[in-house]
Chains A and B, each alone.
Chain A
């Protein structure tokens, strides 16, 4: 009976794993099934999203959502993150076939690994036990390492995979050490138990465990000072994979960090708050300053993602329901902006059909590809948080939550630093609109790319404000579910 209810709660994960296994068989039996497997994987992810949606709409929370004796929670918070993850994975599947067509057809392992990575992330965001957390994280990371070096013939891709693997393994080690300390000093691996055991004074061992766990997670969300791998990996990995890295795993790791901080370490808010505040400010500043000198668009966007993680962490630092809700709204907007800008980079091809990534190559893009330049400009303004665009809303809610939680200084420094960030976003627009045309980017783009770019651009345009009610409502429900135990 208990097993049945548990299985019903993990239905989306079961769908994903069965789909992954079935697609592996299809890939093994038929040659050149890459395109078919990609479509089927996207369908499976869509099906999983549909299965997840009811929990979000009904605002599921509490003991009814716990599966397997409290190791897994299928509540509204997890559902919110899962839908973001699945949707961005579908988008990354849609843009992939055209990209890989240049070096022969897309290999079927790409969609299969994407599917398993999405499964790992779904487990991560639902984790209410340190062991579930680690299993989900490793499943996601392992698939991600392979995806980063998926272009075997490309040295940069191999380098990206190796760097990601070595540093990721180190971070996993740090995380595991933290988990073992927490386990040793609280006597349990469940978040609930850890929360109860930490309700009194924080012992030295617990404090060390907390710091190590947060450090390991900070690596996964690429927050400063654990961000060094991001530019290299984002630059070297194939662009569809970079799009994936900048969206889904970020959502998963941020959601996981929020759950660990507010659930497992929820009674010790003062202990982790200063760490989160430091990581938030450092990420905003380093992300903004680091991007200034970049001449490669993917590296630039990598620094931009570090910068954005800082803003997301401000919502977490607030530690209130409003803060979590703001964080989720920002995450949703950030995912749309990242998808849009990376897909726009993916559409930059020269006359030979090769990918173009240099900032100098898009000079005068407005005269050769006016529509693409317009979409990219909307993305850049939105990332900079310039008011009529939707990106501003995300920053606004996050800062509002911080001010309400008496973190005025944090909000003020964040706003000041976002002005620095605006410099390089606007520089990209300036290069596209006011520089002499370089004439490098020509060629046509796939309909799937246009579809994703069009949808994200429309969402980021002032039209996006129509979404604020719906998005805010869903995020509020998710935040409530996360803070239910409190």
Chain B
């Protein structure tokens, strides 16, 4: 009972915030609605027992991706009136794409109903029972069987970082604006960087 209630609550909120993501006039509001949608999707994931995906949704999508979106939206001066100007012109194309997606959905559901796909049953009763959580299972696979590939993937990320820096970083000569002297930064002590002041009330601080 409580699960059904929670499901409908989360599902309704996902749909509603999805709709508002599109309808909101202010792009910042759109991103905020999107974050709400992510949160509720995470709730749905917890309901079906996929707590790892729920955690990923919150950590990765809300914590990183959505915040990145927010920054981009705030930094770029997007004129939404201009973006909407092409709406009528692109309307037939949009409808066509929507129809294709709808047809795919119907085909997928039809195949599922006909028993051609094995996805388990909607109530999750056919899902394999495990004595450990998803997180533990994923961990044993990642750091056990696939340890080698996992570490190699780490090296790929390192190479990507080295490459990005090698291609774009230009060292600034000493004395130039923006020159970074790491040794000087490290040597700096709190005493040199901060000053204690005791301003008298009503007089302000002299810097």
Contact = CB atoms under 8 A, between A and B. Distances in A.
B153 A142 contact: no
A150 B168 CA distance: 10
A456 interface: no
Interface string B10-43: 0000000000000000000000000000000000
A135 B159 contact: no
Interface stretch (A49-57, A105-113, A281-289): A105-113
B155 A152 contact: no
B148 A139 contact: no
Interface stretch (A63-71, A411-419, A422-430, A471-479): A63-71
**Size band of the A side of the interface?**
20 to 34
B148 A116 contact: no
Given A139-B155, A146-B166, A152-B167, A72 B148 contact: yes
B159 A116 contact: yes
Nearest to B157: A142
Contacts of A10: 148
Contacts of B153: 135
A138 B156 contact: yes
B115 to A, nearest CB: 19
A150 B159 contact: no
A475 B165 CA distance: 41
Contacts of B156: 135, 138-139, 142
Nearest to A119: B155
B152 A123 contact: yes
Interface string A139-151: 1001101100110
B145 interface: yes
B116 to A, nearest CB: 14
A146 B167 contact: yes
Nearest to A17: B155
Given A119-B155, A135-B153, A142 B160 contact: yes
A139 B166 CA distance: 16
Contacts of B160: 142
Interface in B123-156: 145-149, 152-153, 155-156
Contact of B152 (A20, A139, A145): A139
A24 B162 contact: yes
B163 interface: yes
A135 B152 contact: yes
A113 B163 contact: yes
A257 interface: no
Contacts of B158: 21, 116
A6 interface: yes
Contacts of A131: 146, 149
Majority secondary structure, A binding face: helix
A113 B149 contact: no
A77 to B, nearest CB: 19
A139 B160 CA distance: 9
Interface in B38-70: none
A109 B166 CA distance: 7
B163 A136 contact: no
Contacts of A145: 163
A119 B156 CA distance: 10
B174 to A, nearest CB: 11
B155 A67 contact: no
A109 B152 contact: no
B155 A107 contact: no
Nearest to B151: A17
B148 A6 contact: yes
Contacts of A68: 145-149
A20 B155 CA distance: 10
Given A17-B155, A138-B156, A139-B155, A71 B163 contact: no
Interface in A191-214: none
A88 interface: no
A304 interface: no
A67 B166 contact: no
A143 B163 contact: yes
B149 A142 contact: no
Contacts of A119: 155
A184 to B, nearest CB: 12
Contacts of B162: 24, 109, 112-113, 116, 146
Contacts of B159: 113, 116, 139, 142-143, 146
A116 B165 CA distance: 16
Contact of B166 (A17, A107, A135): A107
A222 B146 CA distance: 31
A281 to B, nearest CB: 35
Contacts of A113: 159, 162-163, 166
Nearest to B147: A68
A138 B148 CA distance: 15
A71 B162 CA distance: 27
Contacts of A38: none
Which of B145, B152, B167 has the most chain A CB within a 10 Å cutoff? B152
A152 B168 CA distance: 8
Interface in A82-117: 107, 109, 112-113, 116
A341 interface: no
10 contacts: A68-B145, A68-B149, A71-B146, A107-B166, A109-B165, A132-B149, A132-B152, A139-B152, A143-B159, A150-B166
Given A71-B149, A107-B166, A142-B159, 5 more contacts: A68-B146, A116-B155, A116-B159, A119-B155, A145-B163
**7 residue pairs, one from A and one from B, having the closest CB atoms:** A146-B163, A109-B166, A68-B148, A135-B152, A116-B159, A139-B156, A142-B159
